[in-house]
Structure 1
Amino acid sequence: MISVLVVDDHPVVRDGLRSMFSADPRFEVVGEAGDGDEAIAAAQRHRPDVVLLDLRMPRTDGVTVIKELAARQVTSHVLVLTTYDTDQDVVPAIEAGATGYLLKDAPREELFRAVEAAARGESVLSPAVAARLMGQLRQPAAEQLSARELDVLRLVAAGSSNRSAAAHLFISEATVKTHLLHIYAKLGVNDRAAAVATAFSRGYLSG
């Protein structure tokens, strides 16, 4: 029998999950929690096989809960069950150590299978979340600007023309243009103004 801790700030959701799991002989609901602080205390007390965890909760959010459980050496596997599948929710939860990430619209049997897999330490991702993570992995890593490209960019940001930048750096105008094309490609922009604005936002240039 797999022991489960249900964590959600909505009582109706907790009641539904508790009833669903309690009705199946494969599972035992050993506790509930309505916020992150309660979740940490309950997980330490019950040491369940699986913590079924909502992400957005009062007082302490789900990602912090995952990190705290790891820091306190609570070995329960955490299966995130939430309505949110945005990058800002999914990636931090996975990076913090969540065993799986499921959306609340998952069918009952899919949720049961996910909890069983999580109890075995297997990674579980809903199809939508898996597709989102794969999309992120397929994106090429942002290339860093070279020292010379930064020199050119600083002069452009200061208002220098290609000609004056070339004279300042003792290189040809053509070389400045080549550096600019490389800068545009690395920053994903098409012109000087966008390059400068993006460089400031990414910390390449300081105000």
Structure 2
Amino acid sequence: MNTRPPCSILLVDDHPMMRRGIRQMLELEDDFTVVGEASDGEEALAMIGPLQPDLVLLDNNMPRMNGIETLRHLRHRAFGGKVLLFTVSDAEDDIRDALRLDADGYLLKDMEPELLNHYIRDAMNGALVVSPDLTRVMAQALRSPQRNPDVALTERERQVLKVIAGGHSNKVIGRKLGITEGTVKVHVKNLLHKLGLRSRVEAAVWAMAHLREHEH
């Protein structure tokens, strides 16, 4: 029996019908509860403090303050919950900005509705969640002339990278690979430097695209 309290969710979207539909769908699930709705980023930021949601489901294209700007403010405030971009935009610039700001996921609104529930659960368990159609675009958004997909990673660095792609913490990575948490930190620092990446989120996206390519 699951005794964990339901995941509390703040919906941020400028379309009332969209918010209503998402709320009704999410509240069919026992492990979700929608604690608030906002029609733009400024309204959402005013609600974050009082509500302290576990997860913010954030549209990007909104008046006054869009999703990326809202995410930037949330990061500056050190908001402790998860933030998922849920949008119609597959623009590379939007995806790159979301990754730079350590979004916990980037989802497209044209997905099958029941998939959203799965992605929210995965995000709450620490995974980076990405619409399948976007993996290639996200990897492209991270590429620069210095980034070589054939960069020489050690076997251990590749193992660490695979586990990072699953959204796991250093402690869990160490347990899975039989090494200390401190050793994991060194491997993560080294592979980020080699790949020219700035965060674990970027590393997870790189792994999704490139490790899968090498395995096929």
Same fold judged by TM-score > 0.5?
yes
Residue 125 of structure 2 corresponds to residue 125 of structure 1: no
* Structure 2 Cα separation of the partners of residues 27 and 109 of structure 1: 13
* Structure 2 Cα separation of the partners of residues 97 and 135 of structure 1: 17
* Structure 2 Cα separation of the partners of residues 138 and 37 of structure 1: 32
* CA contact 2:96–2:142 (8 Å) conserved in 1: no
Alignment of 1:49-198 (within 5 A): 49-137=54-142, 140-141=145-146
Letter of the 1:110 partner, please give it: L
Deviation, structure 1 residue 52: 0.3
* Stretch moving more, 55-64 or 128-137: 128-137
Q: Which has the larger radius of gyration?
A: 1
Alignment of 1:1-80 (within 5 A): 1-80=6-85
Unaligned runs of 5+ in 2: 1-5, 148-216
Letter of the 1:68 partner, please give it: H
Q: State TM-score, norm by structure 1.
A: 0.65
* CA contact 2:40–2:64 (8 Å) conserved in 1: yes
Match of 1:30, SS state, is strand
* Structure 1 Cα separation of the partners of residues 16 and 142 of structure 2: 36
Letter of the 1:15 partner, please give it: R
* Structure 1 Cα separation of the partners of residues 87 and 47 of structure 2: 19
Deviation, structure 1 residue 127: 1.3
Deviations 1:178-199 (A, max 9, x none): xxxxxxxxxxxxxxxxxxxxxx
Deviation, structure 1 residue 15: 0.5
Instruction: Name the structure, 1 or 2, with higher relative contact order (CA <8 Å, separation 6+).
Output: 2
* Structure 1 Cα separation of the partners of residues 57 and 8 of structure 2: 10
Deviation, structure 1 residue 88: 1.6
Unaligned runs of 5+ in 1: 143-207
Match of 2:111, SS state, is coil
Match of 1:73, SS state, is coil
Match of 1:41, SS state, is helix
* Structure 1 Cα separation of the partners of residues 39 and 112 of structure 2: 23
* Structure 2 Cα separation of the partners of residues 79 and 17 of structure 1: 14
Q: State TM-score, norm by structure 2.
A: 0.62
Aligned pair count reads 142
Deviations 1:97-150 (A, max 9, x none): 2100000011122110111112223200111221102234566439xxxxxxxx
Deviations 1:32-82 (A, max 9, x none): 000010111122221111100001111111111111112112211101100
* Structure 2 Cα separation of the partners of residues 132 and 44 of structure 1: 34
Question: Identity of aligned pairs, percent?
Answer: 40
Letter of the 1:17 partner, please give it: I
| CA RMSD of superposed structures (Å) | 1.6
Q: Which residue of 1 aligns with 2:155?
A: none
* CA contact 1:99–1:124 (8 Å) conserved in 2: yes
* Structure 2 Cα separation of the partners of residues 136 and 11 of structure 1: 31
